[in-house]
Amino acid sequence: MSAKLAPHPYDSPIFDMACQQFDKVADFLELPDAMRDRLKMPKRAFSVAVPIKRDDGSTSVYMGYRVQHHLTLGPTKGGIRYHPEVTLGEVAALAMWMSWKCALTGLPYGGAKGGIACAPHELSLTELERLTRRYTQELIPIIGPQVDIPAPDVGTNEQVMAWIMDAYSIHQGHAVPGVVTGKPVLLGGSLGRREATGRGVAYLVSRAMDVLKINASDCTAVVQGYGNVGSVAAQSLARQGVKVIAVSDAGGGVQNSKGLDLQALDEHVAKHKTVAGFAGGDPVSNEELLLIPCDVLVPAALERQITAKNAGKIQCRILAEGANGPTTPEADAILAQRPEVFVIPDILCNSGGVVVSYFEWVQDLQSFFWDEGEIMNKLYRILEKAFNQTVTFSKKRNVDMRTAALSLGVQRVFEGKQTRGLFP
């Protein structure tokens, strides 16, 4: 066990959860004590008050954060979240998970994450733009194509990335597309980036089905969080022949045991900004949704949804973690006693997003852009390798899939740190 950490500013249930996962893996890998806190504690954390002028002439101040978890293997990489519950501790946990995810998939990055504690839907477009530009201005000393490259996460999108790219580029005096990924294609974004995370989830679900020897066309799926990741995962699963029987978002959920008409649902969402109220199904709460019997359950919203309370009751064969940190360590202990549930852990399951972000960054750096077929082929090759390595590790070492995926990621960062040595 590592010595007790000095007091730190990350105290939160989510950071605690990421630490518990790390400690378990560090024990399993028998990592030397001297390395544990170096691997675990974020290298840098930035916290900033972001003032903006509101449309009514008043001023509001929002708290913004950026955490860079480790700088050992290259620049740092990770999304920016706009959500009322963003805290430094949450951002630090998400940054740590990004580190293990990038290492698992072999990307030359450390993990990072950022966010602003705000309710984006309560801001006008111009307020959102001012907030994003001011936050970016504050981040300028610590981001850049060779330093730290943000991307979209909950509550942010291509437009937000375009504003970040613009604010940073104005400061540099020339266009710097490589400072963010998940930009519009017109500004140096990559084809397939917006869909990459959800498509990756569906690809890995199909690989899990191969392992379990079940057919997509015999399967049903339930998706919590019909945002970027969840909606694309649902559509991709449907294209594979899976029947999507329930979905939800922050506004509520909808279910139909005969299968939801996703095209009609998307039209409803475009109009009403929520799946709630969709006429092609019956209402269902987010709590009930997780317990619906199905073959594939995709949590694609926020952290800590599968808990000690419901882990014994979920009724799926594949738990495909589209979200980061959807399953608590207590729930993991329960799932460990339920071998009938095949878990595709978050750092593997949703890694398609950062993989195509990496392709976007590479394309920006060389100003040479690939077609979508090439991008998807390269993405699936990387996911295939990471999936096979995780399954093999899990079987060989007789550990669950999360421990296997985290072990592969943590071990690579550990070796990187050990090989580089400790300065001075």
Q: Is 213 a catalytic residue?
A: no
Q: Does residue 164 bind ligand NAD (CB under 6 A)?
A: no
* Residue, CB closest to ligand NAD: 227
Judged by CB under 6 A, the residue of 62, 226, 278, 393 near ligand NAD is 226
Q: Does residue 78 bind ligand NAD (CB under 6 A)?
A: no
Across the beta sheet with 110-117, the strand order is: 44-53, 59-68, 110-117, 76-83, 148-152
The site string for ligand NAD over 28-67 (x = CB under 6 A, - otherwise) reads ----------------------------------------
Q: For ligand NAD, which stretch binds (CB under 6 A), given 18-26, 102-110, 169-177, 245-253?
A: 245-253
Q: Does residue 324 bind ligand NAD (CB under 6 A)?
A: yes
Q: Does residue 225 bind ligand NAD (CB under 6 A)?
A: yes
Judged by CB under 6 A, the chain residues 378 through 417 that form the site for ligand NAD are: none
Judged by CB under 6 A, the residue of 26, 86, 176, 229 near ligand NAD is 229
Q: From the candidates 40, 77, 113, 183, which is the catalytic residue?
A: 113
Judged by CB under 6 A, the residue of 2, 99, 206, 224 near ligand NAD is 224
State the residue for tokens 């985290």.
406
Query: Cα–Cα distance between 2 and 23 in angstroms, integer?
Result: 8
Query: Cα–Cα distance between 143 and 160 in angstroms, integer?
Result: 16
Q: Does residue 197 bind ligand NAD (CB under 6 A)?
A: yes
Q: Does residue 152 bind ligand NAD (CB under 6 A)?
A: yes
Q: Does residue 332 bind ligand NAD (CB under 6 A)?
A: no
Asked if residue 184 has a cis previous peptide bond (ω within 30° of 0), the answer is no
- Cα–Cα distances (Å) from 304 to 107, 327, 328, in that order, read 26, 5, 6
Q: Does residue 153 bind ligand NAD (CB under 6 A)?
A: yes
Judged by CB under 6 A, the residue of 90, 127, 249, 332 near ligand NAD is 249
Q: For ligand NAD, which stretch binds (CB under 6 A), given 2-10, 54-62, 152-160, 409-417?
A: 152-160
For ligand NAD, the closer of residues 47 and 286 by Cβ is: 286
Judged by CB under 6 A, the residue of 301, 331, 399, 404 near ligand NAD is 301
Residues with a catalytic annotation lie at 113
Site for ligand NAD, rule CB under 6 A: 152-155, 197, 224-230, 248-250, 286, 300-302, 322-324, 350, 353
